[in-house]
């Protein structure tokens, strides 16, 4: 499969549910994953636990494509389930890399799903291979599963095994782990990726990458897991293990607020929608310009555009109609087809832009190719001027924590000045939100500090010199 670096993608989303009763956990997990579909469209999977008997299904495709009524019925009812939606940042797109992973070891079955990226995944993998482990996938999650099962041989409980294994993991991880009787969730000590606890009733709890999934099943948000926290859910309720809490300064990925998360989610106490409104407000303060209309690129540019419009007093307009049946990762293998894909995905509302000075708000510029095509579409629709505003700073560094930015050579801001980028994409002016601005968009309600290394190069922990997403594929080929 040809992979083209054509935009920002986040690795995945996890969802899990525990009930003291036997219920339709497969359907609940399906609904949760449907709400998290924006976090990954390559593959998805669900594992159902019916009092220790695991049934699972996973495949490439969107949630509604992989799971139909018959498939969900075959999963059956149970009291625990975990699910996953994936966009790969480590490991190519194939069925073997779909999650959750189900492993069977001497202490019984275990299922695991993971969001994030480990900076020491290669070292862990090589260590376990030398010990005789056989890997069936090329993602980080299988290394995590070996770390847990190795500890399980000597630990009295699954939660003790997870606790010891977590001490070996470096980088970003939000995990859900299912044993025959327990559901366990864990978050890395930096808190790079979100993970929250929800509750349906006295005996039913849910864990999700985002709070929007709780709304889809009628669950009440309880709280975010603390960075470094491990929670165990079983017949006795919820208990917390805080061995790794407070070991590091929190470093939530600030791009969760800019792009990844759904606007109706609450992350670390801060509304994503409100954060994007602030981003637009800050953009106007940093880069004012005379214009007639403000439009946003669907979907993550819309809230920032609205915020800019409110701050400036310039009318907000609907500039694009988006084809909802084309996924975020609609990528074609050659230039002509890629150009056509933008026209298929977005259509300009000519009446909004024709003869007008337009402020176009988007979440980011990566290679610049998509921005160039979008600007050209607006120009063709008769816009008099096009002023591009971006609700984050320029990307100048690779990400090692779960965002698909694996090389500086793919980043236009590493090759060109802002004036050169402006000319390259065909805009009249271009303004990025400052690093200072992006770190303030979540507001005072945010209960965390942020990782902005993709903009600044200031990584919160030691990182490898390079870590291409297909690092394990290279290893296999050699």
Nearest to 118, CA basis, from 148, 102, 139, 132? 139
What are the structural domains, with CATH classification, of the chain?
12-251 (3.60.20.10), 266-456 (3.40.50.2020)
Residue 91, both tokens: 């490991």
- Integer Cα distance of 61 and 184 in angstroms: 27
Residue 185's DSSP bridge partners are 176, 231
pLDDT tens by residue, 250-288: 999 999 999 999 999 999 999 999 999 999 999 999 999
Q: Measured in whole angstroms, how far is the alpha carbon of residue 31 from the centre of its chain? A: 18
Of 36-45, 119-128, 369-378, 400-409, minimum mean pLDDT range: 400-409
12 is catalytic: yes
pLDDT score recorded for residue 331: 36
Q: Name which of 90-99, 210-219, 265-274, 275-284 the model is least confident about.
A: 90-99
Band of residue 478 on the pLDDT scale cut at 50, 70, 90: very low
Whether 403 has a pLDDT exceeding 50, the answer reads yes
In this predicted structure, what is the pLDDT of residue 130?
A: 87
Contact 357, 317 (CB under 8 A): no
**Average of per-residue pLDDT across 287-313:** 97
Residue 260's pLDDT is 93
pLDDT higher than 70, residue 8: no
What integer best gives the mean pLDDT of the chain? Answer: 90
pLDDT of 333 > 70? The answer is: no
CA distance 159 to 147: 13
Q: How far is CA 41 from CA 327, 379, 393, in A?
A: 7, 31, 26
Over residues 45-62, mean pLDDT: 96
C-alpha angle 437-300-277 in degrees, rounded to nearest 5: 45
Catalytic residue among 12, 44, 212, 392: 12
Residue 351, pLDDT above cutoff 60:
yes
CB 57 within 8 A of CB 46: yes
Residue scoring higher pLDDT (138 or 316): 316
This prediction's pTM: 0.90
123/276 Cα distance (integer angstroms): 38
Model pLDDT, residue 477: 38
- Nearest Cα neighbor of 346 from 367, 365, 318 is 318
pLDDT in tens, 156-194: 999 999 999 999 999 999 999 999 999 999 999 999 999
């Amino acid at each position: 499969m040809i992979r083209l670096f054509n935009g920002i993608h986040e690795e995945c989303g996890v969802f899990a549910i525990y009930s003291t009763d036997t219920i339709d956990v497969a359907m609940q997990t399906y609904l949760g994953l449907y709400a998290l579909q924006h976090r990954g469209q390559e593959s998805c999977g669900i594992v159902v636990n019916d009092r220790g008997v695991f049934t699972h299904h996973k495949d490439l495709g969107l949630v509604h494509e992989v799971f139909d009524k018959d498939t969900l019925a075959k999963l059956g009812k149970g009291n625990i389930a975990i699910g996953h939606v994936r966009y790969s940042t480590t490991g190519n797109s194939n069925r073997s890399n779909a999650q959750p992973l189900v492993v069977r070891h001497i202490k019984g079955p275990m299922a695991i799903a993971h969001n994030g990226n480990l900076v020491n995944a290669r070292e862990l993998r090589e260590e376990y291979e030398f010990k005789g482990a056989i890997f069936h996938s090329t993602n980080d999650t299988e290394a995590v599963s070996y770390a847990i099962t190795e500890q399980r041989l000597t630990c009295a409980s699954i939660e003790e095994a997870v606790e010891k294994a977590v001490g070996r993991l470096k980088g970003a991880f939000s995990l859900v782990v299912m044993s025959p009787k327990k559901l366990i969730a864990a978050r890395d000590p930096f808190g790079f990726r979100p993970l929250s606890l929800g509750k349906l009733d006295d005996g039913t709890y849910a864990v999700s990458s985002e709070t929007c999934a709780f709304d889809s099943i009628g669950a009440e948000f309880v709280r975010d897991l603390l960075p470094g926290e491990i929670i165990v859910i079983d017949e006795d309720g919820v208990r917390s293990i805080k061995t790794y809490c407070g070991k590091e300064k929190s470093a939530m990925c600030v791009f969760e607020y800019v792009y990844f998360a759904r606007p109706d989610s609450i992350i670390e106490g801060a509304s994503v929608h409100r954060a994007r409104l602030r981003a637009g407000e800050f953009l106007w303060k940093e880069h004012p310009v005379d214009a007639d209309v403000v439009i946003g690129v669907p979907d993550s540019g819309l809230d920032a555009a609205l915020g800019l419009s409110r701050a400036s007093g310039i009318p907000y307009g609907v500039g694009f109609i988006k084809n909802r049946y084309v996924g975020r990762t609609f990528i074609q293998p050659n230039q002509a087809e890629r150009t056509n894909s933008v026209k298929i995905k977005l259509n300009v509302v000519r009446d909004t832009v024709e003869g007008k000075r337009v402020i176009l708000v988007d979440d980011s510029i990566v290679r610049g190719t998509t921005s160039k095509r979008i600007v050209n579409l607006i120009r063709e629709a008769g816009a008099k001027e096009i002023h591009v505003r971006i609700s984050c700073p320029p990307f100048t560094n690779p990400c090692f924590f779960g965002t698909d930015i694996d090389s500086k050579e793919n980043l236009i801001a590493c090759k060109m000045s802002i004036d050169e980028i402006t000319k390259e994409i065909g805009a009249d002016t271009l303004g990025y939100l400052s690093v200072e601005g992006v770190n303030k968009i979540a507001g005072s309600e945010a209960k965390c500090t942020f990782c902005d290394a993709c903009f600044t190069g200031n990584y919160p922990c030691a990182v490898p010199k390079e870590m291409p997403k297909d690092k394990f594929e290279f290893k296999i080929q050699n």
